[in-house]
């Protein structure tokens, strides 16, 4: 069934693995870009819930007395993370993995 959940879940997964833009993938597979976008959003929304939040420990205090400004990271063009000095790299990796699991 072309409009069914399984059909679109398969295309969303294939598009994510492909590394192609949504427009290119849609054209190659003769599916509507808008519908692929909708299902991508819908499926992601259904799988992300409060239990997937990652709690990080508070950053360690520094003794340098420097002004503590965060570094801003953009992940996959979808998320803006503000990372404070002293944040452990493994914690950042855990957050990014939670936001964008490997496809």
Give the pLDDT confidence of 76-94 residue by residue, as tens digits.
677 778 888 888 888 888 8
What is the rounded CA–CA span in Å between residue 17 and residue 86? 34
What is the rounded CA–CA span in Å between residue 44 and residue 40? 6
Among candidate residues 63, 23, 70, 25, the one with its CA nearest the CA of residue 10: 25
Residue 59, pLDDT > 80, answer no
pLDDT of residue 93: 81
Q: Mean pLDDT over residues 2-28, rounded?
A: 89
DSSP sequence for 84-102: -TT--HHHHHHHHHHHS--
C-alpha neighbours within 13 Å on the C-beta side of residue 34:
0
Residue 100, pLDDT > 50, answer yes
Q: Which residue has the higher pLDDT, 45 or 51?
A: 45
The dihedral over CA atoms of 85, 86, 89, 94, expressed in degrees to the nearest 10, equals -90
């Amino acid at each position: 069934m072309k409009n069914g959940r399984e059909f679109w879940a398969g295309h969303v997964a294939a598009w994510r693995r492909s590394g192609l833009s949504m427009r290119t993938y849609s054209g190659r597979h003769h599916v509507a870009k808008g519908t692929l976008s909708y299902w991508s959003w819908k499926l992601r929304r259904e799988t992300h819930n409060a239990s997937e939040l990652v709690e990080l420990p508070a950053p360690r205090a520094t003794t340098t007395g420097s002004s503590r400004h965060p570094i801003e990271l953009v992940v996959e063009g979808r998320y803006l993370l503000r990372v404070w000095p002293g944040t452990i790299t493994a914690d950042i990796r855990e957050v990014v993995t939670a936001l964008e699991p490997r496809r």
